Structure 1
Amino acid sequence: MKRVWLGLAGLCLCCVSAQAQDFGLSEVRVGVQSHDAYNGFLPFTSENYRFNGITDLSFDVIFRSPEVDAFRWIGSPRPRIGATVSMQGLDSIAHAGLLWQLPLGDTFYLEAGFGAAINTGSLGETSLPHRRFGCRVGFYESFGLGANLSANTTMTLTYEHTSNNGYCEYNDGLSNIGLRLGFKF
């Protein structure tokens, strides 16, 4: 299964890099994540952190915000798709949604994303370190603090979380923290 996820990630990156402008591509990000680094939704309390090393690879494909009134009314978010793939055979996710970015001067920015994710985790009973997702599809949220390293390069410290918000019998969720290098088009 790991090879399938890596193959899909590589194929997506090759395709979008070759036709970036035709697809309305804004940025491609690749990075590393600490798998299941926080037990909860928002990372506010320090006792819930558990860093077990860098074990996941992640990528995002971010498009330009469409020039339509509906997008302008909600702050001109950029559509994106992506995935976080566990390199240790643990739970992996693929996600799609919208990404809002707030510049903090010329160099730094804050961002927040919301959408949906599918997971490869257990829907029922399992043992740690695997998670009991309960549903194959759940919500996806992300938050980031980033820097424009150059006109075409970014670096973003990212927190991502997926869960089903209690809509299924189990709702362990998954929260990863990592760093992504971005390439703008």
Structure 2
Amino acid sequence: MHMRRTSLALILGLLGANVAEAQESFVLSDIIDEVRVGVHAHNAHYSLWPVYVGEWDLGNIHDVSFDVLFHSPQVDAFRWIGSPRPELGTTINFSGLESTFHAGLTWQVPVFETPFFLEGTFGAALHNGYLTSAPEGRKNLGCRINFYERFGVGVNITENATALLTYEHMSNAELCEANGGYSNFGLRVGMKF
């Protein structure tokens, strides 16, 4: 019996040591590539493609965003689609309008040999807005979970700091009873690890 207890204690001790070593060597930068915060004009436009700039409304700067971009997984499926970074984020409205939580994949393309880059995100967003029967001044968003797209033009300010002008859109592509999509326009700044 004493031999079993000693063996068990030795095994648990070795496992504990390995767990402790793994915890010491693991840091958040092993999985997180970049963290961003931003400010945005809420519902700057209704369309995914805001070609009519004269229709934009930039007067409602009531949104704050927070995004976490993870390193692209080193698997063939991700390499095959261009090594996008998985992303989780939220855009919170502070004037009682719609807020969203989104998840998606983010692609980034450098603009030649400059510090500038183009970026695109595609995913899904969960919102706290109305599905139908919205009161005046609110949107009928149709589905609780909608498509989420974001486009941006950014610059690498330093090796670890970025800034982007972004246009994010949420709608359901007419898959639900209503499709009152909306788009936010704003500035995000990021810190890379």
Show the 5 A alignment for 1:27-38: 27-38=34-45
Q: Secondary structure at the match of 1:21?
A: helix
Partner of 2:47: 40
CA pair 140-57 structure 1, distance change in 2 beyond 3 A? same
Partner of 2:18: none
Q: Secondary structure at the match of 2:78?
A: helix
Show the 5 A alignment for 1:1-185: 19-22=27-30, 24-104=31-111, 105-185=113-193
Question: Normalising by the residue count of structure 1, what TM-score does the alignment of the two structures yield?
Answer: 0.87
Give the counterpart letter for 1:70 in structure 2.
Answer: A
List gaps (5 residues or longer) in structure 1. Answer: 1-18
List gaps (5 residues or longer) in structure 2. Answer: 1-26
Q: Whose helix fraction is larger, Structure 1's or Structure 2's?
A: 2
The count of residues paired between Structure 1 and Structure 2 equals 167
Larger Rg: 2
Deviations 1:12-55 (A, max 9, x none): xxxxxxx5224x10000001000000121111112321112311
Q: Secondary structure at the match of 2:48?
A: coil
Give the superposed CA RMSD: 1.3
CA distance in 1, matches of 2:80, 2:97: 39
CA distance in 1, matches of 2:131, 2:29: 39
Question: Normalising by the residue count of structure 2, what TM-score does the alignment of the two structures yield?
Answer: 0.83
CA pair 128-156 structure 1, distance change in 2 beyond 3 A? farther
